[in-house]
A and B are shown apart, each in its own frame.
Chain A
Amino acid sequence: MSRLDQLFEATRAEGRAALVGYLPAGFPTVEGSRRVLSAMLDAGCDLVEVGVPYSDPVMDGPTIQAAAEGALRNGFRLRDLFSVVETVASAGGHAVVMTYWNPVFRYGVDAFARDLASAGGLGLITPDLIPDEAEDWLAASTEHGLDRIFLVAPSSTEERIAMTAAASSGFLYAASTMGVTGARDAVSNAAPELVARVRAHTDLPVGVGLGVRSGAQAAEVAGFADAVIVGSAFVSQVARDPGDGGEAAVRALAAELAEGVRRRVAATG
């Protein structure tokens, strides 16, 4: 049983959803991202997704694009990713990495998996890698004991959901709206429907991302998903207050969301 399996077993036993927070490594700086990720975990995130800043983030909206650009301008290097993950993991935090595929491909898929595992990372979320193209990652993740979190979308067919679930471990990432990342006022109706479709094919925990920014929305998503994934809202807090790295605001948001995932609301979709 992987450590992600254990994590979800624990949150299910508590009758609640897990809270997952995203921040790009190197944003606002490498040191800043260590502090902010630690604050997120400290204030209530069960798991952090450490993002890899990438030059061509086609799935991201303006908030995360700007953060990635900022991190790269500040000189972020891939080796910083492993050191940030190590900081989080050595303090007992759970971390997975979310990355576009090219940095992994260029680094060498097996080498990336080896270095991520030795830094204490638990797995990889791959927004532009589908299982159809993932032969070397399936092998490397097995070899190095990492979970592989693929995405499903409202446009996925039943066959693709089944195939993607079969290739995944740890949890499955349901992109709840068709679109790029970014906080939205309302959680899409498509989300509960997609999660229900996924559950027909797998017992894997299902995380829902894209759009959540408040405790109320977190509670709503927690009503039908196993994990509530929050990205742009955290990044915005840091961007708004680069003075103290946004730590205070990040803590406040994490606390609000953590309260939300413990207060499930019946799904309205």
Chain B
Amino acid sequence: MSSALRPTPHDPDERGHWGPWGGRFMPEALIAALDELAAEYDKARLDPEFVGEFQRLLRDYAGRPSLLTEAPRFAEHAGGARVLLKREDLNHTGSHKINNVLGQALLTKRMGKKRVIAETGAGQHGVATATACALMGLECVVYMGEVDTRRQALNVARMRLLGAEVIPVSTGSRTLKDAINEALRDWVTNVDTTHYLLGTAAGAHPFPLIVRDFHRVIGVEARAQVLERVGRLPDAVVACVGGGSNAIGIFHGFLDDPSVRLVGCEPGGEGVGSGRHGATLTAGTPGVLHGARSYLLQDEDGQTTEAHSISAGLDYPGVGPEHSWLKDQGRAEYRPVTDAEAMAAFRLLSRTEGIIPAIESSHALAGALELGRELGEGAVVLVNLSGRGDKDVDTAAAWFGLSENNTDNTDNADDAGASAAGRGSNERGEA
């Protein structure tokens, strides 16, 4: 078990490059802090005491290993495939995000820093960070786009209850990208005392490596659980991709299993053709954002264009550099899932399995339905259910028209399944 963070053949080069991707496109003022973090992590990942403490927290605090749940009633809509859910939604704080924040908070203490800043989109990473900071006695400031503070008001309250300061960001598109900009401005000003606890496997080296490694546990557990349950490897592993942290965590367990297809589901928003989406790997071009070279949604002058998604956690115009590498290598494939497809899968899982998924994870569920139908009878599809949907209840109620003034006209699960098959787009109920 102490091998959890050990170097892999899939690590980037010393300066954080996977082929042409990654690296450090950052102000010189932050290079010393990035070097310090990289050096500390290089030591920590091989230090049995550090790894042991990380694993103890994952077990005794986060609740790992997370369960593997088969979803047979949901799978009835997936072309006869078996669907297995990796239940990251059952972790403490309700998503995979806790894995990374516990690891980075331990690193923060190891570096002797007392203050942590973070960005958040849906609020899941912010809540997880506030939680880890409360646990370890660290000061915590979370930057969150003003648009997101409105659509995720519950998580804002949770962060404040945990003792974090939440700062709404009103520049730019007022979403995740701008929250990262503001966190970087804070970091360059306060870098001596402050660790920037980045929440996704993106940004400048060593962040994509560190965040990935703290999430590798997802894939390691899932691979063993599927082998035990099914007696063989899955045919496909599906995860949602915004910045890409939960996806890279589960993919890593299967990178060396060439028979396993790795499928990332990007936020297709209103459809890639509409221009209103966040499908960076599907429709982006090479660029530099937030410190790394990766695929990016941008115009021909290199100005970042706005991402659009019903999911605040996937609403990001960039993506982690290792995903760009896996795409180019052909090792992973990426496809867009629209808002409507994701919401149909959200409802289907809720009604067939009694599990309300995060809207982010619902993109992966929609992808699994599609893949199951492609792969056919007897195929095994593993889905990373990266988070729970409690935070999304308002958004979902508005989407389905479930508020007091509306009547729900889609009462049975079969309808929900039909809409998951691609006819969900006409079901939007505006509140």
Contacts and interface: CB of A to CB of B under 8 A. Distances in A.
Interface of A: 54-59, 61, 65, 69, 72, 77-78, 101-107, 127-130, 132-133, 150-157, 160, 164, 175, 178-180
B301 A153 contact: no
Given A103-B302, A179-B185, A180-B185, 10 more contacts: A58-B184, A58-B185, A103-B303, A105-B286, A105-B287, A153-B28, A155-B32, A156-B29, A160-B32, A178-B29
Contacts of A107: 301-302
B28 A156 contact: yes
Contacts of B303: 54-55, 72, 103
B301 A133 contact: no
Contact of A106 (B23, B31, B287): B287
A210 B188 CA distance: 13
Interface string B8-29: 0000000100000001111111
Contact of B300 (A69, A72, A105, A106): A106
Nearest to A134: B25
B288 interface: yes
B28 A160 contact: yes
B189 interface: yes
A113 B208 CA distance: 31
B172 A179 contact: no
A164 B296 CA distance: 28
B28 A150 contact: yes
Contacts of B26: 128, 130
A27 to B, nearest CB: 15
Which residue of B181, B185, B291, B296 has the most chain A CB atoms within 10 A of its CB atom? B185
B91 to A, nearest CB: 31
Given A102-B287, A102-B298, A179-B188, A130 B304 contact: no
Interface in B25-41: 25-33
Given A103-B303, A106-B287, A129 B32 contact: no
11 contacts: A59-B188, A61-B185, A101-B25, A103-B302, A104-B302, A105-B286, A130-B25, A150-B28, A153-B27, A155-B30, A155-B32
B27 A56 contact: no
A103 B304 CA distance: 10
Question: Shortest 6 CB-CB distances between A and B: which pairs?
Answer: A106-B302, A153-B29, A103-B302, A179-B189, A155-B32, A102-B302
Contacts of A155: 28-33, 191
B188 A102 contact: no
Contacts of B198: none
How big is chain B's contact interface, by range? 35 or more
Contacts of B287: 102, 105-106
Nearest to A81: B301
B177 interface: yes
B28 A130 contact: yes
B302 A132 contact: no
Contact of B172 (A56, A59, A133): A56
Contact of A151 (B27, B177, B189): B27
Contact of B304 (A55, A78, A128): A55
A127 B27 CA distance: 6
Contacts of A128: 25-27, 288, 291
A104 B30 CA distance: 21
Contacts of B15: 132
B188 A157 contact: no
B425 interface: no
A149 to B, nearest CB: 12
Nearest to A175: B29
B181 A58 contact: yes
B90 interface: no
Contacts of B24: 130, 132-133
Contact of A129 (B25, B33, B298): B25
Contacts of A54: 302-303
A72 B305 CA distance: 12
A67 to B, nearest CB: 13
